[in-house]
């Protein structure tokens, strides 16, 4: 859940921050879609991003209703930054755009799968995918 | 973020529930790995699950430190159920086991990519993947 174009450097805003949680922010999202979402306490759903061509999982980010609306209607992947508390269009500063090919909602409405044409690296570190750190699977059954 | 083996039917437990949040539950997770995790307020990281062979994204679920420890050391995907507030081993009731092939952490430590050999359907609805509901991408740029 990185903010690849602007690495999260700050801590989340204080509770007195005037930015409303996702469920309270204005949104133009289609009401029928909005009704299917099951949001976190701060009004977000997880967005899993994969490369349309290779199927590779690139990153995970967050969307509120309006970010999903913008993603569906502009064709440019748009997220909600939890650290900066603002919308960000992937690639706006890095040039590493994500052109949206399809979006699917999961069975219980709290996760999205966004298939994109990824320009350049998805990860702000320069890696193609954010998932470049392998953890050791030590089970005797591991194959 | 389904609970494929046991559809979430109840509401989250009341605040007086004695089950501690993820960051406070006992865990045997390797300290070096634990130090890299960046958890939600309730002590969880998102786990994106994909099929090892096809690369298909199957589902999203949640892990706390101990669920990740069990996943890495038993080779069986194990999650934390937010609705039931307990650990669940995928397939324990459905038989739709997930044998863990690899686990990767993302660049900022708040999401995992779990590659599995999936037995049967990943979704409790019977679908192979939980992401079977396509949303309309209406951008003129959509290809």
| ipTM rounded to 2 decimals | 0.83
pLDDT at residue number B2: 46
Rounded to a whole number of angstroms, the distance from the CA of B86 to the nearest CA of chain A is 18
Contact pairs from chain A to chain B, CB under 8 Å: 162
pTM of structure: 0.84
pLDDT score, position A45:
95
What pLDDT is attached to residue A42? 86
Task: Report the share of chain B in percent with pLDDT over 70.
Answer: 83
Q: Which of A136, A139, A46, A61 is nearest to A98 (CA)?
A: A61
Q: Judging by DSSP bridges, how do beta strands A98-105 and A133-135 pair with one another?
A: unpaired
List the alpha helices (DSSP H) in chain B. 31-34, 65-74
| The pLDDT value given to residue A47 | 98
Give the pairing type, strands A45-51 and A111-118. Answer: parallel
Give me the pLDDT at residue A19, please. 64
Please give the backbone phi and psi of residue B43, each rounded to the nearest 5 degrees, phi first.
80, 30
* Chain B nearest CA to A99, separation (Å): 8
User: What's the rounded mean pLDDT across residues B77-88?
Assistant: 94
What's the average model confidence in pLDDT over B28-33?
96
DSSP readout, A6-75? S---SPPPPTT--PPPGGGS-----HHHHTT----TTS-EEEEEEETTT--EEEEEEE-HHHHHHHHHHS
User: What's the pLDDT score for residue A10?
Assistant: 37
Q: How many CB atoms lie within 10 A of CB B11?
A: 7
Q: Is the pLDDT of residue A5 over 70?
A: no
Q: Which residues of B touch A46 (CB under 8 A)?
A: 1, 46, 60
Give per-residue pLDDT as tens, B87-133.
999 999 999 999 999 999 999 999 999 999 999 999 999 999 999 99
- B112: closest CA among A129, A89, A88, A43? A129
Q: Helix, strand, coil shares of chain A as percentages rounded to 5? A: 10, 30, 60
Interface contact A131-B104, CB threshold 8 A: yes
Judged by DSSP in three states, B27 sits in coil
Taken in order A11, A15, A16, A18, is the CA torsion positive or negative? positive
Cα distance between residue A84 and residue A76, in whole Å: 19
Answer with the residue of higher pLDDT: A16 or A41: A41
How far, in Å, CA of B33 to CA of B104, rounded? 11
Mean pLDDT of the residues in chain B: 87
Q: Write the pLDDT tens digit of every residue in A120-136.
A: 999 999 999 999 999 99
How many CA atoms lie within 13 Å of B133's alpha carbon, on the beta-carbon side? Answer: 16
Helices (H), chain A: 31-34, 65-74
Residue from B50, B89, B111 to probe the interface with A (highest A Cβ count within 10 Å): B111
Query: What pLDDT, on the 0 to 100 scale, is given for residue A9?
Result: 39
Rg of chain B's alpha carbons, rounded to an integer?
16
Of the ranges A18-22, B49-53, B90-94, which is most confident? B49-53
Residues of chain A positioned with their CB less than 8 A from the CB of B107 = 2, 123-125, 127, 130, 132-133
pLDDT tens for each residue of A60-109:
999 999 999 999 999 999 999 988 999 999 999 999 999 999 999 999 99
- The verdict on a CB contact (< 8 Å) between A125 and B103 is no
| Backbone φ, ψ for residue A40 (5° rounding) | -70, 175
């Amino acid at each position: 859940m990185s903010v690849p174009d602007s690495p999260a450097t700050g801590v989340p805003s204080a509770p007195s921050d005037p930015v409303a949680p996702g469920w309270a922010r204005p949104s133009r999202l289609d009401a029928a879609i909005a009704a299917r979402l099951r949001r976190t306490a701060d009004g977000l759903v997880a967005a899993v991003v994969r490369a349309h061509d290779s199927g590779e999982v690139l990153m995970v980010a967050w969307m509120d209703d309006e970010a999903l609306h913008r993603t569906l209607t502009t064709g440019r992947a748009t997220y909600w930054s939890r650290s900066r508390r603002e919308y960000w269009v992937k690639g706006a500063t890095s040039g590493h755009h994500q052109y949206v090919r399809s979006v699917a909602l999961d069975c219980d409405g709290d996760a999205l799968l966004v298939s994109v044409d990824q320009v350049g690296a998805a990860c702000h570190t320069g890696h193609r995918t954010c998932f470049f750190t392998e953890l050791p699977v030590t089970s005797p059954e591991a194959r």
